[in-house]
Amino acid sequence: MNKNNFLKIGITGSILTAVCCVTPVLVILFGVLGIGAMVTYLDMVLLPLLAVFLGITGYGYWRTSRNE
């Protein structure tokens, strides 16, 4: 895997997960789809997912800066 791929994946995933955590995008979408009961489980999925993507971003940054 290219050393910049970790950084790109981590940043993209972090931004998408943060948008879903901070804004009510998923709450509105789930309400429209009729599965509003799933909203209670969002924090159990999105917050660990954000931590994973931030970890990938940190690893990608460390790997990129270490080799230059």
Quick one: pLDDT band at residue 58, thresholds 50, 70, 90? very high
**Domain ranges, residue 24:** 3-67
CB atoms under 10 Å from CB of 51, counted, come to 12
**Angle at the Cα of 27 from the Cα atoms of 13 and 47, rounded to 5 degrees:** 40
DSSP structure class, residue 39: G
CA-atom Rg of the chain in angstroms? 15
Quick one: pLDDT band at residue 46, thresholds 50, 70, 90? confident
Locus of tokens 């230059």: 68
Average of pLDDT values for 43-60?
A: 91
How far apart, in whole angstroms, are the C-alpha atoms of residue 5 and residue 14? 14
Q: How many domains does the chain have?
A: 1
